[in-house]
Structure formats: structure tokens, C-alpha cells
Chain A
Amino acid sequence: MNYIKNKLSEEYSLKRMHYLMDTFLSIEVFYADEDKAKEAVEKAFREAVRIECVLTRFKDESEVCRINNYSFDKPQVIAKELANLISNCIEFSRKTSGAFDITVAPLIELWANAAKQNIVPSPNEISSLLQNTGYENIILDSESSTIAFAKSLLKIDFGAVGKGYSLDRMAKILKENKIEKARLDFGGHLYYMNSQEHEGEAVGIRNPLCPDEAIEAVTIKNQSIATSANYERNFNVLGRTYSHLINPCTGQPVETDILSVSVISDSGLVSDILSTAIFILGLKQGMELIEDMDNVEAVIITNNRGRPEIHSSRDRALHLPDSRQESAALRKGGGG
């Protein structure tokens, strides 16, 4: 049955799944030549494994580990690829007024330990860490590919961008291997590759209040969609629930009525960065940020008195009357 269906649409597909970066990475490709497709998929997986080995903070031999251990004393020469990635990240830190920051890891660890011991970190601890973090303390020389840290406790961490960056690299490798259509899913961060002839594909966005259900659909074509949400990884300290996202500017877990942020762009890296940043910036500032950028869309779901309310950057431009009606209806419903 499946065979006939595939035959009719003249598409054969091959799906593979690995466990990487603490989550599942699945790649589905559509192909004419099965052997070449298998080879391309394995090459893409090798690339993701390679990136994990470079970016991980938890293996002593990784390049990021070396940077974190030695960059305060003297500038370290690093690979061009990593220098470019860091420079991209710093650029986005500036664009997002510091809401996205690759140096936030010590603050995340502080809160993770606090959750384990069930104590709230003292303001002193937080402020001393805040003085030792911040992307402006990274001294990067892109031309000579060297990096140095201005603070001894500074550490860089690519946890927030590793998946997005891998998706971009894998898509590039699949394209180089003549794959025209593919669906990549890296722990809920999707990248769908399509050639010009193919239509865009509809993907769902989860209802943050009921994660088994989709609440919204978007079409993507050669684009990625990354979602930051509050429904999976919150933590409790002294009976109070905190968001797992820490604001790099204040050192505090984010307090917001945003339930989830999905960002659609043609780069996995950009989607990853902006979905985190908008969650921290909030609805108003986040939407302003998106409107200033080209080829980026966002769907923000907020909690409107226990109901999910959808704000999409495209609605603002195209469906303004509708969205007004809808929010009016929601307000009415909520009040009644």
C-alpha cells in the first residue's frame, strides 16, 4: 500500500534516526537513487556528530572546552568555522540587546544547582556572576581567528544554538549530495528542504497548554522552525515554579506570560537564537525585533487568562482585522 502511494507521487523516502546532543535527530530524505540517499544521510549524521564534538562543553578534548579553560591567560587560535559561529552569535547578542548570550552558562548552572538543593540563589551570588558574564567580554579577532576572554570566569556555551547550527550544516551537505527534498527534525527543531518544484510543507506548532495537540500550522520551504517553550523544562525551588530560561541581563529566570515562541527563518541558527531571545524580551519587544528583520517570522503564544492566544508576525501585516476580532472575542470569552 505504502509502496503504491509512493510510486504514485514518484517519491521514495528513507528515514533515519540517531540519538545526539541528548535528543533525537531524525532525517528523512526523498530520493531517486537509494544508495546515494543512504550515503548522503550518513554523511549528514557524521557532520552532526562532528559538530557535537567541537561544540560540547562536557568533553575535555573539545575545542570549546579548550577555549573555556585557557582563553583568559592568552589568546587561543581557533578554527575559522568556530570563529565565524562565535562572531555570528555576538552579532545577535548586540541585535537582541543581550537577551541572547553565549556566556550565560554560569548563571544557568547556578539556578540548576539551586533547584537541586532547593534554595534560591542570593542576590550577591547572582550579581557577582553577572559581573563575570556578558558577550562584551569576549575578545574575538576574526581575521587571525583568535579568541581571548576579559574575565577569568567567562565560559562560552553553544547549548542554545548547537542544534540550529547543525541543521544548517546538514542541509548544506544534503544539498551537496544532490538531495532535493528532506525533512530534518532535531529534537523538535525542524528544517524542511524543498526544491523549487516542490510545494512548501505544513508543520504544526504545539499548544503549550496541551502539548499533545497542535494549535497552529505554518508552511515552511527551505526554512527552519525553532520553538522555545515553557512546558517541558521548568524547575521548582521552594514550591515556586521557575522558567528554565535565564535572562542574561538580570540573572533571573524569565517571568513572562509567553508560553511559547516559534521562529521561522531560512537559517536554523537564526531560528534557534531568536526563539530564545524573544522569549526573554517579551511579546512587544520581540515582535518589534522580528519586524525589523527580513525573512523572519514568529508565532508567539501567550497565556490569556488560562487560554492560549496566538500572535503571529504575519498576522500583523496581513490579517490585522482578523486578529483584532479574535483577540476581542477571546477577551469577551475570558471575561464571561
Chain B
Amino acid sequence: MAKVLKKSFTVGLGVIFFLAFYPVRIAQHFYEKVFQGASKTSIGCVEVFAEAFYTVEEALKVILPEAQDIKEETKALSEEQKKSISSKAGVKFNPEFDNEYHIYIGQANGQATGYAFEDTVKGKWGPIHYMLAFDADGKIKDAIVLGLKERRGRPIKERKFLGQYIGKSISDPIKLNKDIKGIGGATISSRQMSSGIRKLVYVFNELYKK
């Protein structure tokens, strides 16, 4: 008899616990369903999106500040020139982006003050559109990113969100749906960018220094 009582007591306890906590799970489930859109954009699922930083005009003002006048040129390299640069610089030309180059030449008092190349390289998640400026001697002055595609990180496991925020401002309210503004610890693969710049240094010499 005592055994039966004990068993029913345990089962009853189980049922009570189930009823007490399961609705929370259901509510959570519905909450997630209803607010799916919100949480996905804010906690950031796998998403690639484009970001624009400068227009060409704005960028030119920044990288060719002393220019009174800007002349635009479009130039192309011959297959031979491309081959020789490929072997010298150890870079590959992209048939999609390397057919011709848009060059902006800054001028002041009739003299060229700087050259800005508009170029695109393939980044990790998509093309990186940038501008590289040379001074009149062919030294790199500046590199500026006009726009790129980026992917934000995947969501963090919920457990982490609930319990483990650290940082100095512990008094700050941390909300479950608060999005993550950035991810530290790695960068967009910058290798493509450095080889793009190396390529343009040779292209500049080929087009303007010979």
C-alpha cells in the first residue's frame, strides 16, 4: 500500500512539474514563432548584406583632397601586359573586373596631384568595391572602401544569452532580443585586398610610368 502511495505521489509530482513548466515552453515556442522576423534580424541569422560607405564623388574628395579639377580616364591593358604583371606581382587578373580601369586624375595648377583607381576584388562574401589613390610619384596615398558585402554571425546559443554576458557595464539591461552589433576576433579576409592593391601598383606603373 505504502509502495502504491509513494508511486502515485511521484507520478503526481511529475505531472505537477510538467503542468507548471510546459506552458512556459509552449509560450516560448509561440513567442519565437510570432516574433521570428524580429529575432532573426536582430540576433542575426546567416545573412549576407551589402554596405555602402562612400559614393565615388565623396571618396574622391577624401583621397584627392588637393585636386581643383578631376579628369576621368578609362584604360585597358593588353593581354601581354597582363601576363607580365601576373608573373611579376604574383596576382591573377579577374576577367569580370579587370577588363578596363577607371582612373580619376586630380589636377591643380595644370599639374597632376594624384591618381585614383576604381577597382573591385572578390571578398569572402562578395565583391569589395574600392578606390586606391597614388600620388604623382606612384606612391600609395590611400585606400578607401566604397562598398562591400558582408555576412554577420549566426545566433548565439540561448543559454549564453541568458546567463553569461560579461563586460564592465554589468548593470546594463541585457535583453534576449538585443542584437549583436559586431563580432570581434576576425576580419573580412583582407588577403584579396592586398593582392588587389599589389596588382594596381603594377598597373599604375604600366599605364603612367612608362
Contact = CB atoms under 8 A, between A and B. Distances in A.
- Decide whether A and B assemble into one complex: yes
A185 B179 CA distance: 17
B167 interface: yes
A262 B173 CA distance: 22
B163 A319 contact: yes
Contacts of A314: 166-167, 170
Interface size class of B (residues with CB under 8 A): 35 or more
Interface stretch (A62-70, A99-107, A140-148, A215-223): A215-223
A217 B181 CA distance: 10
A24 B165 contact: no
A24 B150 CA distance: 12
A146 B18 CA distance: 74
A19 B180 CA distance: 24
Nearest to B189: A232
Given A16-B54, A17-B148, A216-B156, A221 B185 contact: no
A17 to B, nearest CB: 4
Contacts of B148: 17
A20 B143 contact: yes
Contacts of B163: 319, 322
A190 B182 contact: yes
A155 to B, nearest CB: 23
Contacts of A319: 163-164
Contact of A217 (B54, B154, B156, B194): B156
Contacts of B188: 24
A310 B154 contact: no
Contacts of A200: 167-169, 172
B22 interface: no
A334 interface: no
B164 A205 contact: no
B130 interface: yes
Interface stretch (A88-96, A109-117, A206-214, A277-285): A206-214
B190 A214 contact: no
Interface in A145-183: 183
Given A190-B182, A192-B181, A15 B164 contact: no
A295 B168 contact: yes
B183 A17 contact: no
Nearest to B123: A24
B67 interface: no
Nearest to A227: B185
Contact of B153 (A214, A226, A227): A214
Given A212-B151, A214-B153, A314-B166, A187 B144 contact: no
Contacts of A45: 62
Contacts of A226: 184
A239 to B, nearest CB: 23
Interface in B43-67: 46, 51, 53-54, 62
Interface residues of A, number: 61
A188 B184 contact: yes
A211 B169 CA distance: 26
A15 B54 CA distance: 9
A206 B183 contact: yes
A46 to B, nearest CB: 10
Interface in B156-204: 156-157, 160-161, 163-170, 172-174, 178-188, 190, 193-194, 197
Contacts of A315: 164, 166
A212 B172 contact: no
Contact of B145 (A24, A49, A227): A24
Interface in A194-211: 199-206, 211
B142 interface: yes
B180 A188 contact: no
A291 interface: no
Interface centre among A200, A206, A232 (most CB of B within 10 A): A200
B181 A183 contact: yes
Nearest to A17: B145
A266 interface: yes
B194 to A, nearest CB: 6
B48 to A, nearest CB: 11
B138 interface: no
Nearest to B159: A326
B169 to A, nearest CB: 4
B155 interface: yes
Interface in A259-287: 260, 262, 264, 266
28 contacts: A17-B53, A17-B144, A23-B190, A189-B184, A192-B182, A199-B169, A199-B173, A200-B168, A202-B181, A203-B182, A206-B184, A211-B185, A212-B151, A216-B164, A217-B156, A217-B160, A217-B164, A220-B168, A220-B169, A227-B186, A232-B186, A264-B167, A266-B168, A297-B167, A297-B168, A314-B170, A315-B164, A315-B166
